């Protein structure tokens, strides 16, 4: 079985690469272990809590016991389906802050500064921001494969949250994905015509329709390497798929490093412990693991205005039927329709706390509702200094890797989280929100001291499901870098990585947008094209950042 290119993983990065390689006339085989994305659980935005908890669609990974979180194991959903995690995620669309990418470049990811990546964000987008979003023409894309839209914000709590942020002294931003991330405003989502718009819909299926891309079902065991060059992929059943030009790994920041290590690329000592012949000693493989942790701060409302009214058999039946018949109603939204990005202290030059606002008090996995009508803010620090690892459990490619995030292992994490809780309470106490609030459900008004807050964080912090960084980009002479600025694995020819593994540092916000952008840009590098012309647009930085928190 031969093709010009073999891509491992039909997720956000891999789908974008496949689309662009097919567009250029190349034959592509995409290896995907998961199955179809058909059906309402994936396609109905309001059903987002279901697919990430279904074995059919999720790899079923979890962390090792996390010492900083009282020994809890945190689930780590990754999409096992075409579209990858873009088919099971919360559909929130965040590019990240301009300074995230400038930091990437400072860390040795040449050609990945904000001025370099903005043209790729624009190329991938079809933006439906609406007239209230102003100023988007220069900053946003209008004819790309990925539809990005905003919710209707019909529930009064959405706009009340934005207004409360303004009353607390923070800016309002008309488009956090445009010139100004900092502030409160409408949240954006990969939803179009009331349906999830995953990487499978945006990229993979159109690529397959060209006749140049085909999906090969199965489990990739390792990269086939001959004389220092990747020539194909060995499947778990022993088949070898041959690539005429290159192999591209886009299997997620948890499975990509696993495949690299099974292929003999990684920390030499760890590979030897598993009896794997070392082809390239790259200690950075599986290191530098990062994620966003968040808390759900929950509040009960005085009036029955939240989504709790649908939290019963009849309500869910109504929402499902309305969506099936018309692709409208509560099921047509992920219900993350307003948000905020703020700085936790003076002297921090761009936001380091993110808010998702949800007009119901419920666990992210949909397993438990708090206590009747309420709302919650998902809040957490954006740039934890903690770093973790992904390591092999065995040489069996069917075994999930050993995942250690080392959450909350840096003392600054605790300070930042406490600050996030206290700033949130102050925002919810503003008149625009306070008029709706009956009482604080979680953590509860009695939880005030540092020790009390720390205990709450230890028990209740949850992953936002944004793992990244395990095969980071850097200069070729950097011993901890795994790939160079063109995604080429250092020490092996003909092998690239094109997913969130390559992020030197986690970006501000949800990672699906940056992961797709990575696939878009890597495709140009694979094709040997000149990068898109750099942008000269200047992002907004709060002029008082050095002296004021807001």
Q: What is the pLDDT of residue 243?
A: 98
C-alpha–C-alpha distance, residues 149 and 142, integer Å: 11
Q: For residues 56 and 161, state if they share a domain.
A: no
Would you mind telling me the total number of residues written for the chain in this entry?
550
Residues with Cβ within 8 Å of 341's Cβ and at least 6 positions away in sequence, in order, are 97, 173, 176, 181, 182, 183, 351, 353, 354, 355, 508, 509
Do 126 and 82 share a structural domain? yes
Are 319 and 453 contained in the same domain? yes
Instruction: Write out the chain's pLDDT in tens, 550 residues.
Output: 799 999 999 999 999 999 999 999 999 999 999 999 999 999 999 999 999 999 999 999 999 999 999 999 999 999 999 999 999 999 999 999 999 999 999 999 999 999 999 999 999 999 998 766 765 678 999 999 999 999 999 999 999 999 999 999 999 999 999 999 999 999 999 999 999 999 999 999 999 999 999 999 999 999 999 999 999 999 999 999 999 999 999 999 999 999 999 999 999 999 999 999 999 999 999 999 999 999 999 999 999 999 999 989 999 999 999 999 999 999 999 999 999 999 999 999 999 999 999 999 986 666 656 678 999 999 999 999 999 999 999 999 999 999 999 999 999 999 999 999 999 999 999 999 999 999 999 999 999 999 999 999 999 999 999 999 999 999 999 999 999 999 999 999 999 999 999 999 999 999 999 999 999 999 999 999 999 999 999 999 999 999 999 9
Q: Which pLDDT does position 71 carry in this prediction?
A: 98
pLDDT of residue 523: 98
Q: For the purposes of burial, counting CB atoms within 10 Å of the CB of 363, is it exposed (0-12), middle (13-18) or buried (19 or more)?
A: middle
pLDDT at 365 (0 to 100):
65
CATH of the domain at 321: 3.30.410.40
- What pLDDT does 132 receive? 67
> How many domains does the chain divide into?
2
Same domain, 49 and 176: no
Whether 326 and 451 map to the same domain: the answer is yes
The CATH number of whichever domain residue 59 belongs to comes to 3.50.50.60
Residue 227: other Cβ atoms inside 10 A: 6
Verify that 447 and 474 share a domain, yes or no. Answer: no
Give domain status of residue 543, yes or no: no
Question: CB atoms < 10 A from the CB of 540, how many?
Answer: 15
Residue 129 resides in a domain:
yes
Ligand-binding site membership of 91 (annotated): yes
Q: Are residues 427 and 476 in the same domain?
A: no
Q: Is-contact 333 318, C-beta < 8 A? A: no
The domain boundary, picked from 419, 442, 460, lies at 460
CA distances from 27 to 22, 210, 213, 246, 494 (A): 6, 10, 6, 11, 16
pLDDT at position 372: 87
Question: Within a domain: residue 437?
Answer: yes
CA distance 233 to 222: 6
The reply, when asked if residue 92 is annotated as ligand binding, is: yes
3-state class (DSSP) for residue 115: helix
Give yes or no: 274 in active site. Answer: no
Q: Are residues 431 and 371 located together in one domain of the fold? A: yes
Of 438, 460, 482, which residue is a domain's last? Answer: 460
Q: Which one of the listed residues 147, 292, 466, 525 is annotated catalytic?
A: 466
Domain extent at residue 330: 152-186+293-381+409-460
Residues 46 and 71 in one domain: yes
Same domain, 332 and 202: no
Q: Is residue 539 part of a domain?
A: no
Known binding residue 89? Answer is yes
């Amino acid at each position: 079985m031969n093709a010009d290119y073999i891509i491992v993983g039909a997720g956000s990065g891999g789908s974008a690469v496949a689309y662009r390689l097919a567009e250029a006339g190349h034959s592509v085989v995409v290896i995907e272990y998961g199955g179809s994305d058909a059906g309402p659980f994936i396609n109905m935005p309001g059903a987002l809590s279901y697919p990430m908890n279904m074995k059919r669609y999720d790899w079923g990974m979890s962390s090792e016991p996390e010492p900083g979180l009282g020994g809890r194991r945190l689930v780590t959903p990754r999409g096992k389906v075409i579209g990858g995690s873009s088919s099971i995620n919360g559909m929130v669309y965040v590019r990240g802050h301009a300074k995230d990418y400038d930091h990437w470049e400072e860390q040795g990811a040449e050609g990945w500064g904000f001025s370099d990546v903005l043209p790729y964000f624009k190329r991938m987008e079809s933006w439906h921001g609406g007239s209230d979003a102003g100023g988007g023409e220069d900053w946003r894309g209008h004819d790309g494969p990925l539809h990005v839209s905003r919710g209707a914000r019909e529930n009064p709590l959405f706009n009340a949250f934005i207004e409360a942020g303004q009353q607390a002294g923070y800016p309002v931003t008309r488009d956090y994905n445009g010139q100004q991330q900092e502030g409160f405003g409408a949240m954006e989502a990969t939803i179009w015509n009331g349906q999830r718009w995953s990487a499978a819909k945006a990229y993979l299926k159109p690529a397959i329709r060209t006749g140049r891309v085909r999906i090969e079902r199965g489990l990739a065991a390792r990269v086939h390497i001959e004389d220092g060059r990747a020539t194909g992929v060995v499947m778990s059943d022993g088949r070898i798929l041959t690539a005429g030009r290159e192999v591209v790994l886009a299997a997620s920041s948890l499975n990509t490093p696993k495949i690299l290590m099974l292929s003999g690329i990684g920390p030499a000592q760890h590979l030897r412990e598993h009896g794997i012949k070392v082809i390239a000693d790259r200690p950075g493989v599986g290191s530098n693991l990062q994620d966003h942790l968040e808390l759900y701060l929950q509040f009960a409302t005085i009036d029955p205005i939240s989504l709790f009214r649908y939290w019963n058999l009849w309500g869910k039946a109504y929402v499902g039927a309305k969506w099936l018949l018309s692709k409208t109603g509560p099921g047509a939204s992920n219900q993350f329709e307003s948000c905020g990005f703020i700085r936790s202290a003076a002297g921090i030059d761009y936001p380091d706390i993110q808010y998702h606002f949800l007009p119901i008090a419920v666990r992210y996995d949909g397993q438990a509702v708090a206590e009747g009508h309420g709302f919650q803010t998902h809040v957490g620090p954006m740039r934890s200094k903690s770093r973790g690892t992904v390591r092999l459990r065995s040489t069996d490619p069917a075994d999930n890797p050993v995942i250690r995030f080392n959450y909350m292992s840096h003392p600054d994490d605790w300070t930042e989280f406490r600050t996030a809780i206290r700033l949130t309470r102050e925002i919810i106490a503003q008149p625009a929100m306070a008029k709706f609030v009956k009482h604080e459900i979680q953590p509860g008004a009695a939880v005030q001291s540092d020790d009390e807050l720390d205990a709450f964080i230890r028990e209740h912090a949850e992953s936002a499901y944004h793992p990244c960084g395990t095969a980071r980009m850097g200069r070729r002479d950097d011993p901890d870098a795994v790939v160079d600025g063109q995604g080429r694995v250092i020490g092996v020819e003909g092998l690239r990585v094109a997913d969130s593994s390559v992020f030197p540092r986690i970006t501000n916000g949800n990672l699906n947008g940056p992961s797709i952008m990575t696939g878009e840009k890597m495709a140009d590098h694979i094709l040997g094209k000149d990068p898109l012309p750099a942008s000269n647009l200047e992002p907004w930085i709060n002029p008082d950042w050095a002296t004021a928190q807001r």
